[in-house]
Amino acid sequence: MKSTFCVLALLGAQLVSAQESTKTFVGEMLKHWESSKSLSLAVAEAMPAEAYSFKATDAEMSFGEQINHIAMANGNYCAPALGVKNPITKPADASKTTAITNLTASYDFCMSGLSKLDDKGLQETVTRGGATVSKFELFWGGFTHAAHHRGQVEVYLRLKGITPPAYKF
């Protein structure tokens, strides 16, 4: 009886291990998306609500528009990878409350969808804008795009005399 239990326990552990090993890249991507979410929200929180209309130059988006842009773009990258419509739509305003709500929803949408994929699923291709791309490329593109615009708004913070939050790897 003990030996049967041990064999079953060992087989169960191997099955769990095999399932986890099919999510190596997904797990690594989720870790970085979580870091991006935490830092993006910390940056968004650092700007006072009354400064969300601040622009570095007249030609630039305001701080709040930049945060909303990150949110909408996250959805635009992740939705085709997940085969669904982008749930993040153009907001009515660029207030701190609206922008942070959208940013949070966009990261949660992307990470929830990513967590349902395995590494093989990341290699699947979809059509976006007439081009065939892998789901990995879409998630990586969204992650990179967010970093680019987050870097821009960190400059906005500095122009307002605010030290941006530190990145935590």
Show me where the domains of the chain are located. Answer: 23-159
Averaged confidence pLDDT in the chain: 90
**H/E stretch holding 59:** none
| Cα dihedral: 58, 62, 68, 69 (round 10) | 30
Mean pLDDT, residues 11-29: 64
One-letter amino acid for residue 49 of the chain: A
Chain mean position to CA 106: 7
- pLDDT band of residue 2 (cuts 50, 70, 90) is low
- pTM (two decimals): 0.86
pLDDT number for residue 22? 78
Write out the two tokens for 157: 């913070």
The pLDDT tens digits of the residues spanning 118-130 come to 999 999 999 988 9
pLDDT exceeds 60 at position 140: yes
Alpha-carbon gap, residue 118 to 122, rounded angstroms? 7
* pLDDT at res. 125: 97
Other beta carbons within 10 angstroms of residue 166's beta carbon come to 7
* 23-159 fold: Four Helix Bundle (Hemerythrin (Met), subunit A) (1.20.120)
